[in-house]
Amino acid sequence: MTFPAIAVKNLVKKFGDTTVLQNIDLEIPQGQVSCLIGPSGSGKSTLLRCMAFLEEATSGTITVNGEILGFTENTKGLRERVAPAANRAIRAQVGMVFQQFNLWPHMTALGNVSEALKTVRKMSRKDAEERAMAQLVKVGLEARAGHYPSQLSGGQQQRVAIARALALKPKIMLFDEPTSSLDPELTGEVLNVMRDLATEGMTMVVVSHEIGFAATVGQQIAFLDHGKIVFTGPPKEVFRKPRNARLEQFLDTYL
Ligand code: ADP
Ligand code: MG
């Protein structure tokens, strides 16, 4: 039986009295790039954070490769927490890259990529550094392995952050506006790394205002507005003839 990589069902997320995500249903197909677009404040980051279980959904369920993440609803409709060990194993399938690279300033690129392998995955220093180096090669930064974040450009720092996520061997990669804090001339190198990853068949969910990337690399586009999925479809449907007024208005701002 094959499952979607991620299935979000009837997801609601509230912060206090404010409903930020309303009854979200979304399937992330295996081995494809799904792009999430929408205006600022529409809930894109919150949805990604729920998928990575960095944020707990208020209700609804998220399954990752068929396994329920965080909470499940029992037959009485009550939420029950998934066992912590199972939850950790499910979360480990999901890697995430943020707008702010969040690198440790006191560690080299190699240190940043190998740290979690040593401390979380309990790998030996040698094995961790070998795997970290292989990931730095993959993002084209083997020559910068010994550099500290302050000695790297924003684009290089983001590539280190991608290598760090990949080193944990996730099955799904979530990207939250990975190029939004970069100077325009540095976005290309990061998008190229993501494009390569897509070509290798990585399942990806990308929040981005890079409409060109979404149109050429994305296989599914979901448009989020005021906490609701307004539209889901292949790029050619979204970009050829947006029939939804809000989507049209959004695209006018970014195209
Ligand atoms: P986007 O990523 O699309 O810009 P967000 O998911 O960051 O949107 O935010 C959606 C809404 O949720 C916004 O109104 C934001 O102010 C609110 N929000 C996000 N995080 C929190 C939080 N931790 N506490 C309260 N409100 C939040
Ligand atoms: Mg955001």
DSSP the chain: ----SEEEEEEEEEETTEEEEEEEEEEE-TT-EEEEE--TTSSHHHHHHHHTTSS--SEEEEEETTEE-SEEE-TTS-EEEPPHHHHHHHHTTEEEE-SS----TTS-HHHHHHHHHHHTS---HHHHHHHHHHHHHHTT-GGGTT--GGGS-HHHHHHHHHHHHHHT--SEEEEESTTTTS-HHHHHHHHHHHHHHHHTT-EEEEE-S-HHHHHHH-SEEEEEETTEEEEEE-HHHHHH---SHHHHHHHHHH-
Q: pLDDT tens digits for 81-125?
A: 888 888 888 999 999 999 999 999 999 999 999 999 999 999 999
Quick check: CB of 34 below 6 Å from ligand 1? no
Ligand found nearest the CA of 99: 2
Instruction: Supply the pTM of this predicted model.
Output: 0.94
Cα(106) to ligand 2 centroid in Å equals 27
Of the listed ligands, the closest to the CA of 227 is 1
- Residue ranges near ligand 2 (ion) with Cβ within 5 Å: 44-45
Convert the pLDDT of each residue in 164-203 to its tens digit.
999 999 999 999 999 999 999 999 999 999 999 999 999 9
Complex ipTM value: 0.98
Determine whether the shortest distance from the Cβ of 56 to ligand 1 is under 6 A: no
